[in-house]
Amino acid sequence: MNAVVVGGGIVGLSSALELAERGVDVVVCEKGSIGSGSTERAAGGIRAQFSTPTNVELSVASMAVWSEFEQRLGTDVDYRTNGYLFLARTPETAAALETAVEMQNERGVPSEVLEPAGARERCPGIDPDRFVAATYSPTDGFADPHLALQGYARAAADAGVDVRTGTPVTDVLREGGGGRVVGVETPDGPLEAEFVVNAAGPWARRVGAMAGVELPIAPRRRQMVVVDPDTAVPETDPLAIDLETGTYFRPERDGEALVGGHLGGPDPDRDPDGYDRGIDFDWAADVLETASEWATYFGPDSRIKRGWSGLYAVTPDDNAVLEETIPGLITAAGFSGHGFQHAPATGRIVAELIVDGEASLVDVAALSSDRFGTERERLERNVV
């Protein structure tokens, strides 16, 4: 059996590795360099505090891999389980968090609801008077996307995966022009394949269109900055998120903080080939000022050291599409900011869909592309 994976980010490489370990001959086609799409610009968050069961289960399965990544793949990804702290300003948001925690606990996640004073115990730099409640899970955390990407790339190559950079896919080939997917076209010629995996992230809609499939996946620009704060942020602090304003921070090294947020609503859809990879300084000033209103680490002497922007591949309900979309075409895209953290489980599920014909690690029926516009569509809160 052979497969072509379109996209050399972490979802594509995880899928390629899992397929190769199950005896599939795999070629990865990456139009640029490895990870040059979304992975290298991710914040690196890894959490199980989601509001939909499928995402929680994807997280639990992925965390089992993240916790053993160095042992299994030989790369230290600087995985830190500092926790995530979700902060609610309104009773309505607090009630939604309580419902989510109950569902998470049923699936083995040790999340808990906290009073504002308890939240401050978890993160001394927050102002508890701004909030009515919070949730926290000690098994959430973050890792280094660059190190994780390199770990997957080396492991995939060692497993025999043929990774071809600078190799865009220009068409998806179907039997008789409209039947089963049978390969892809590249500038170097066609590649025959029994399966094609669309792991193209912000480019996934384009790849789907090549196969005659409409995928509601849009590229959205997201920004973040590294800040030298007024007061050093302890390296043991959790990633803290003010859900009402959409701003967040997490510790970096040497007292610095990574700060971001979705101020002003989502950016419009972007051209994934031509977006600005820098930061908007008006946005940076606004996000830092907003963070300073609820986190005492930040103030007038805080200094932005550097920043960047990247692309989320977003669906209407902020959940991925993970399925065999048409015979021979596996879609693993549209993670809406969750792709990095869910890559380990996604790779295994892609391999199950191809080798076994169905997913068994997690029931991914809720992530089928035919859910959009139906009562089966369930909105996931889009945070880092």
Mean pLDDT of 160-188: 95
Assigned token pair, 215: 């995928």
pLDDT at 40: 76
Give the number of other Cβ atoms within 10 Å of residue 181's Cβ: 26
Q: What does pLDDT average to over the chain?
A: 94
In whole angstroms, give the CA distance from residue 182 to residue 200.
18
In this structure, CATH architecture of domain 82-140+218-314: 2-Layer Sandwich (3.30)
**pLDDT at 270 (0 to 100):** 65
The pLDDT value recorded for residue 34 is 87
Annotate 44-93 with DSSP letters as a single string. -EE----SSHHHHHHHHHHHHHHTTHHHHHS-----B---EEEEESSHHH
Give 176-245 as a DSSP string. GGTSSEEEEEETTEEEE-SEEEE--GGGHHHHHHHTT-----EEEEEEEEEEE-SSPPPTTPPEEEETTT
Please say if the pLDDT value at position 314 is more than 80. Answer: yes
Average pLDDT score over residue span 205-215: 96
Report percent pLDDT > 70 for the chain: 96
| 262 has pLDDT over 90 | no
DSSP three-state, residue 155: helix
Give the least confident one: 4-13, 255-264, 279-288, 330-339: 255-264
| Segment 63-89 mean pLDDT | 96
pLDDT bucket at 265, cuts 50 / 70 / 90: low
Of all residues in the chain, what percent carry a pLDDT higher than 90? Answer: 86
CATH number, span 2-64+145-217+316-371 = 3.50.50.60
Domain boundaries, the chain: 2-64+145-217+316-371, 82-140+218-314
Q: How confident is the model at residue 269 (pLDDT cuts 50, 70, 90)?
A: low
Residue 57: pLDDT over 60: yes
Residue 90 predicted with pLDDT over 90: yes
- What pLDDT does 377 receive? 60
The model's pTM is: 0.94
pLDDT at 326 over 90: yes
* 163: pLDDT strictly greater than 60: yes
Cα(279)–Cα(282) distance, integer angstroms: 9
Q: Which of 334, 328, 219, 329 is nearest to 277 (CA)?
A: 219
Tell me the pLDDT tens digit for each residue of 105-126: 999 999 999 999 999 999 999 9
Which of the four pLDDT bands, split at 50, 70 and 90, describes residue 43?
confident
Task: Please say whether the beta carbons of 160 and 2 come within 8 A.
Answer: no
Rounded to whole angstroms, the Cα distance separating 287 from 302 reads 12
Closest CA to 198 of 186, 213, 219: 213
